[in-house]
Amino acid sequence: MIKQATMHISGPKYTMDQTRGFYLVSSRPAYQVSNINWRLLTGVVVLMVVTNLSTYLLSERSSSGHTLIADVKEEPLYLMEKANYYITDVNAFEFKVRHISQSLDIPPEWLMSVMYLESKFDPSIQNLRGSGATGLIQFMVPTVQELNARLGTKYYMSDIRRMPAHVQLDLVKEYLQTVRERYGEFDSLRDLYLAILYPRAVGQDLCYGLFAQPSKQYKMNIGLDDNRDGVVTVRDIDQRMKRMFPTAYLATK
């Protein structure tokens, strides 16, 4: 005499919609029905639970556009491989760069580019041409004094040089925010670099002149005169950014 041992197991949503579940059937002699392989049965049940959960998560993600378990890891910051040499706390630095960029409404690639151009990401570097500039974006003494007045701090240039990069980034943000309030939004990589080099040129026409012969400022910045016509213009800066940082140059808000 043969008996059937039948167990109904609910399947995932698509299975329930189409077949209302399925049946696990074991056909064997009556005296063996009680000896069904419970390890196999348990494995099947666990598999069904996992499948059901996976189907639900995929369904939720497709309908909402978001992953429920964990966000996809962000791509490494642009030029971060060059920054690692000087950065003591990589996680804090990356977080600050992304946060500042969001606050200023700019791509992080722009901020990374101008810091690399000014300091190679060395927060303690000093200008070798005698200007006294120091740090990630080459803070000048008047700039630090203005930041002190704005923030209620008492930083000296020596304090700036001793700051880890992720701490100094707070001053970078405050400085750029000050320029933004005075001269307007940064609409390009060129604008962001001009905010550091010559803030009054932010948003100006490509023909706008920054430094011209025979001034001392021109001699100190002669390397920026891209076409060597004796005048450093916004166009010169734009061409320099395009040539040095093609990826960041094309990044948009």
Within-domain flag for 85: yes
Can you give the CATH number for the domain in which 89 is found?
A: 1.10.530.10
Higher pLDDT, 125 or 8: 125
Do 85 and 163 have their domain in common?
yes
Q: Please report which confidence band the pLDDT of residue 127 belongs to, taking 50, 70 and 90 as the band edges.
A: confident
Q: What is the 3-state secondary structure (H, E, C) of the chain?
A: CEEEEEEEECCCHHHHHHHCCEEEEEEEEHHHHHHCCHHHHHHHHHHHHHHHHHHHHHHHHHHHCCCCCCCCCCCCCCCHHHHCCCCCCHHHHHHHHHHHHHHHCCCHHHHHHHHHHHHCCCCCCECCCCCCCECCCCECHHHHHHHHHHHCCCCCHHHHHHCCHHHHHHHHHHHHHHHHHHHCCCCCHHHHHHHHHCHHHCCCCCCCEEEECCCHHHHHCHHHCCCCCCEEEHHHHHHHHHHHCHHHHHCCC
240 within domain boundaries: yes
Whether 149 and 229 map to the same domain: the answer is: no
Instruction: Assess whether 117 and 157 both reside in one domain.
Output: yes
92 and 171, same structural domain? yes
Domain count, the chain: 3
pLDDT for 17: 42
- Verify that 97 and 194 share a domain, yes or no: yes
State mean pLDDT over 11-33. Answer: 40
Percent of the chain with pLDDT over 70: 71
Answer with the residue of higher pLDDT: 55 or 212.
212
> Could you tell me the pTM of the whole model?
0.71
